[in-house]
Amino acid sequence: MPDVEEKNVLLPKFDNSYSTLPNRFYAKNLPVPVDSPELIILNEPLANYLGFESSWLKSSSCVNMFSGNSLPDGTEPLSMAYAGHQFGHWISCLGDGRAVLLGEMIATDNKRYDIQLKGSGQTLFSRTGDGRAWIGPIMREYIVSEAMNALGILTTRALAVVTTGEMVLREKAFPGGIITRVASSHIRVGTFQYFAARGDIEGLRILADYTIQRLYPEIMKKRRPYLSFLEVVVSIQAKLIAHWMSVGFIHGVMNTDNMAISGETIDYGPCAFMDDYHPDKVFSSIDKRGYYAYRKQNRAAHWNLVCLAKCLLPLLDENERKALSLAQQTVDHFSNQYQKSYNKIFGEKIGLPCPTEDNNKLIFDLLVLMESHHCDFTHTFYTLSEVHDAEGEDNAFLVLFNHSTEARRWFKKWRTQIGETDESLCFAKEIMRMRNPAIIPRNHHIDRVIHQVLESGSFKEFYLMNKALQNPYSRLNENDIFSSPPLEEDKVKYTFCGT
């Protein structure tokens, strides 16, 4: 528990540009105080980047802010209004039901970031919910969001986790927790839908202008800034989803209210990383029909972008037919942009950075092999990046496929396409090692870490796992206990959102 004397502490400097927007954009409300907050983990590198003073991070004010018990000057707590399609079903008013945006900080690179408490109590958007979170989903979000950042994937960040000293009732009583989330912005596709559904064209324009100015100011001077805005969002989402796919990540709830306009991965509820590869893999306990299965994530993103484009129609052109044509042309580029990004990243995963039809076919054939042999996604690509030239019994890559004829045939084609010299193999391996992580946040390890906290109150494994995940592209050693794929009896088949 921080205990530095308060009198010499420099308090964080907050701003809140979102609060300058009209009142219909949000509901002002304070976090609900908790009984006995305790700081469990603080992301000090991120805190330093944001400009938090080290003296403040060691003070009691730090814990009080991250728990919502007291707030520095400049914070203007609010919950953002938004709507959304959830598994295809329209809900006209969602909003932050258990999150409060404290305000924004200008980081050391002069960029603006939202500071948000999640699990901080009821808001005007909570409906029948308690606005709280239990420690399991909070730990999962911290682990996965920071792992995603280490993997080089755009994401919201985790700044701190506190326990509340209170119990949260779900299927039974669990210890409560609050996570402090950091984002370039929490504006979502669903934020635009909220105003479009109400026919609030003025609100749409205000929101679009604010979002462009904050996230993409370089396009303000374009002849058609709102069209350029849509183009940027389409492009950044295409790259994001391709990047997800390359590490076997499955979001689980790709609703329009969970697609951030900033292109950052947001809301780590029933998300998971694949173990055994299967294109139809689903982990979310509520996704009974495979709506957001692994292979469908690009389609889900495309559909979300269509929803955004519909919202922007009144801003694109006064002529409705022309506006629709402009929007259609822009969103139609998504599939091509996604496929280009996908081919390039997966090509790098097998050491072939320049996409060609032959290389793309090689990627497809490898995935088919992996599916038929139930191969672990991460371990297969990592093993390929470490493979030597020989095709003998000790070839670790071929062992994964039981030295099948199909695998040997694939390996020979791959070896031909990367080049048959030692130098070409070394070059390919250098490329692969930058794309194929040795370690990801695996479900069974996350589950074990959470259970350790529930059973013993110890966060030791939680700290160790977070530390291990910060160097995902380092080569494995025998002490990497969090890199192992699960045994059959250890597999976690379902994940939950925690609400």
Which residues are the active-site residues?
257
Name every residue whose Cβ is closer than 8 Å to that of residue 162 and which is 6 or more positions away in sequence: 37, 38, 39, 40, 63, 66, 67, 177, 178
Closest CA relative to residue 159, chosen from 188, 118, 120, 130: 118
Dump strand ranges (E) for 81-235: 84-86, 89-91, 99-106, 112-118, 157-169, 173-183
Backbone phi, psi, residue 71, to 5°: -130, 145
Instruction: Count the helix, strand and coil residues of the chain and give each as a percent rounded to the nearest 5.
Output: 45, 15, 40
Task: Kindly state the helix (H) or strand (E) to which residue 249 belongs, with its residue range.
Answer: strand 249-250
> Do residues 232 and 216 make contact, with C-beta atoms less than 8 angstroms apart?
yes
Residues in the chain: 499
Closest CA relative to residue 337, chosen from 298, 303, 292: 298
CA distances in angstroms from 190 to 174, 194, 311, listed in the order given: 30, 6, 10
- The tokens 């921080």 sit on which residue? 2
> Do residues 158 and 179 make contact, with C-beta atoms less than 8 angstroms apart?
yes
